């Protein structure tokens, strides 16, 4: 990236955001919108500053749920994808069910999970897992199958067995796709954790949001939403940074939609 | 290991590759496609043999069959006296595309060949550097494939096919994706490499010029289903310089091949002026 494109890639969204915030503030001011309906950005900022300890505690709770759910999705998703790719029988046995399972709304089974897994962290982790493992499987399968057939011909002419081909060729080739899946999955894991907290929780940002709404503390509700959005962005950026470290050969010559670290 | 076997004695007379009555049929939704139809030929040890033919005449299929990466519908192939029934390892293959691993440097792509064989890459490092140097890639050993030009990538692929010093080299239109100047240089490079190593080479190409320039013998194929039209012995002194292409002897060989293509309708010349 040249300095010029880096400048515009950061500046444009920042300017847009600033303009939106100013417009928001002016509209609230101009029409004297009651604070419980729509608080001004400055009000939200004040609430955030005043309640930072409270927000931090609930952010930590939700972060734990997201990370555990996401980790579980990775630990289940990638090996499942490897199994699907390595055995046509397993593929026939698993794949259609997996796809079908995706038409079941996760939100609909969340109450059942509470019923089965009790209250506490576990059911939220499970919802986060259920909602995020699918893209990991799909993208990993696509990646593992993306190796050029000629590369596999060469590998066989080198006398390599399937294991060595997997370690040296298939898996590294799949990493770009795997990371694409991980990025989608980590944002979905955030959604999953909040959905879980909406169903039943006594802590976490989803809980904080519901509590604030219940007492018409809209400022605090907005503050929770902003923290939540920031949390999602941070999770995404962490995956992005790991990707850049792990597969610079891919990152350096793809065109990126997302503004990442230079 | 197999490819380290003593160099076959009496190379110039021995049939190193024997292709006997090979037919290969591909099932497709529109019915069976007969890619090769009763092909027989030999490649003598140390010989440079080219196969020229139109697209779809089964040239690439032949490479896959000899490498043991595909089974013939009927017929037998033997390499170094042994029938081919599974992927052959005592050879090097170069395809039209370099097919390098994007995360490996030029050097590490060359060393993939030895790593995949379970050999210590360390011991082959010097030889890999030397090979890269011999094709003009010194200074580029650490570059990743996307930092190299198409011609450079193909050179890396050729080094990868040579690092384990195989007795047999299969090349399937290795210069097909390169520009004309690079092709000329690569043609010279290949001649040098093959002359040094005493390798048996099967070279697949569309290019009549390349085939005549490089080969001891040229097999001309018919359009699908691929059959052998004719075999031409190229008796030009070696090493051959680029200028040999303007010689009358060279032109005569090229014309002989072109006439086969004209006769088969692979090429259609314009009508002679009245």
State pLDDT tens for residues A214-243.
999 999 999 999 999 999 999 999 999 999
Q: Which CATH code is given to the segment(s) A43-251?
A: 1.10.3720.10
Q: Quickly tell me which residue has 């990236």 as its tokens.
A: A1
Altogether, the residues listed in chain B come to a count of: 274
Q: Which residues of A touch B112 (CB under 8 A)?
A: 158, 168
Alpha carbon distance A74, A81 (integer Å): 10
Q: How many CB pairs under 8 A join A and B?
A: 58
Which helix (H) or strand (E) element contains residue B218? strand B217-221
Within chain A, residue ranges assigned H as helices are 3-30, 41-50, 52-86, 88-101, 106-117, 121-144, 149-157, 162-165, 171-199, 205-214, 218-246, 248-251
Of A150, A158, A252, the CB nearest to B117: A158
Q: What phi and psi values does residue B77 have, to the nearest 5 degrees? A: -120, 135
Whether B89 sits inside 8 A of A157 (CB atoms) is yes
Closest residue in chain A to residue B114, using alpha carbons only:
A158
Stretch A26-37: mean pLDDT? 92
Nearest-neighbour CA in chain A from B16: distance (Å): 18
pLDDT value at position B62? 93
Of A201-210, A248-257, B62-71, B81-90, which range is least confident?
Answer: A248-257
State pLDDT tens for residues B19-29.
999 999 999 89
Is a pLDDT exceeding 80 seen at residue A261? no
Domain ranges of chain A: 43-251
> B5 falls in which pLDDT band (50, 70, 90)?
very low
Q: Which residues of B touch A150 (CB under 8 A)?
A: 95, 97, 99
Is a pLDDT exceeding 90 seen at residue A99? no
Q: Which residues of B touch A243 (CB under 8 A)?
A: none
State pLDDT tens for residues B231-245.
999 999 989 999 999
Is a pLDDT exceeding 70 seen at residue A57? yes
pLDDT value at position A3? 56
Sheet of strand B82-83, all strands in order from the earlier edge strand to the far edge: B31-44, B15-28, B74-79, B82-83
Beta carbons of A157 and B170 less than 8 angstroms apart: no
> A20 at the B interface (CB within 8 A)?
no
pLDDT value at position B13? 52
Q: Is A54 helix (H, G, I), strand (E, B) or coil?
A: helix
> B99 at the A interface (CB within 8 A)?
yes
The two tokens of residue A62 are 């939700």
Is a pLDDT exceeding 50 seen at residue B92? yes
For B92, other C-beta atoms within 10 Å of its C-beta total 27
Of B95, B112, B144, the CB nearest to A249: B144
For A116, other C-beta atoms within 10 Å of its C-beta total 11
A245 contact partners, CB below 8 Å, separation of at least 6: none
Alpha carbon distance A81, A73 (integer Å): 12
State pLDDT tens for residues B168-217.
999 999 998 888 888 999 899 899 888 877 899 999 999 999 999 999 99
Q: What percent of chain A has pLDDT over 70?
A: 93
Q: Quickly tell me which residue has 């390599």 as its tokens.
A: A160
């Amino acid at each position: 990236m040249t300095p010029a494109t880096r400048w515009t890639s950061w500046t444009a969204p920042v300017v847009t955001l600033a303009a939106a915030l100013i417009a928001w503030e002016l509209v609230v001011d101009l029409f004297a919108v009651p604070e419980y309906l729509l608080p001004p950005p400055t009000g939200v900022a004040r609430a955030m500053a005043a309640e930072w300890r409270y927000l931090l505690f609930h952010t930590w709770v939700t972060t734990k749920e997201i990370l555990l759910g996401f980790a579980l999705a990775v630990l289940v998703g990638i090996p499942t994808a490897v199994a699907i790719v390595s055995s046509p029988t397993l593929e026939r046995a698993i794949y259609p069910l997996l796809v079908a399972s995706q038409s079941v709304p996760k939100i609909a089974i969340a109450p059942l999970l509470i019923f089965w897994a009790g209250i506490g962290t576990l059911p939220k982790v499970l919802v986060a897992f259920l909602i995020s493992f699918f893209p990991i499987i799909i993208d990993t399968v696509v990646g593992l199958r993306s190796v050029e057939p000629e590369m596999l011909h060469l590998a066989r002419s080198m006398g390599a067995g399937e294991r060595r081909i997997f370690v040296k060729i298939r898996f590294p080739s799949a990493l770009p796709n795997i990371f694409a899946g991980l990025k989608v999955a980590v944002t979905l894991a955030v959604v999953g954790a909040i959905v879980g907290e909406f169903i039943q929780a006594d802590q976490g940002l989803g809980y904080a949001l519901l509590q604030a709404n219940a007492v018409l503390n809209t400022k605090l509700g907005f503050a929770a939403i902003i923290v939540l959005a920031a949390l999602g962005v941070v999770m995404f950026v962490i995956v992005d940074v790991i990707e850049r470290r792990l597969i610079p050969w891919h990152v350096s010559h793809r065109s990126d939609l997302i503004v990442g670290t230079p | 290991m197999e490819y380290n076997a003593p160099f076959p004695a009496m190379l110039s007379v021995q049939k190193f590759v024997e292709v006997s009555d090979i037919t290969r049929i591909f099932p497709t939704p529109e019915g069976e496609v007969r890619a090769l139809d009763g092909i027989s030929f030999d490649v003598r040890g140390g010989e440079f043999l080219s196969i020229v033919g139109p697209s779809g005449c089964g040239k690439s299929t032949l490479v896959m069959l000899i490498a043991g990466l595909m089974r013939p519908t009927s017929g037998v192939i033997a390499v170094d006296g042994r029938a081919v029934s599974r992927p052959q390892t005592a050879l090097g293959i170069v395809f039209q595309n370099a097919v390098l691993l994007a995360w490996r440097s030029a050097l590490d792509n060359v060393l993939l060949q030895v790593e995949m064989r379970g050999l210590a890459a360390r011991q082959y490092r010097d030889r890999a550097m030397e090979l890269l140097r011999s094709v003009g890639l010194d200074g580029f050993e650490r570059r990743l494939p996307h930092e190299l030009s198409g011609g450079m990538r193909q050179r890396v692929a050729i080094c990868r096919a040579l690092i384990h010093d195989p007795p047999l080299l299969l090349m399937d239109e290795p210069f097909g994706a390169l520009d004309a100047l690079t092709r000329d240089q690569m043609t010279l490079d290949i001649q040098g490499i093959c002359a040094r190593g005493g390798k048996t080479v099967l070279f697949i190409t569309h290019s009549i010029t390349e085939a005549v320039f490089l080969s001891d013998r040229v097999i001309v194929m018919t359009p699908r289903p691929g059959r052998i039209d004719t075999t031409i012995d190229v008796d030009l002194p070696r090493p051959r310089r680029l200028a040999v292409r303007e010689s009358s002897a060279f032109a005569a060989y090229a014309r002989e091949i072109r006439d086969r293509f004209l006769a088969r309708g692979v090429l259609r010349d314009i009508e002679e002026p009245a």
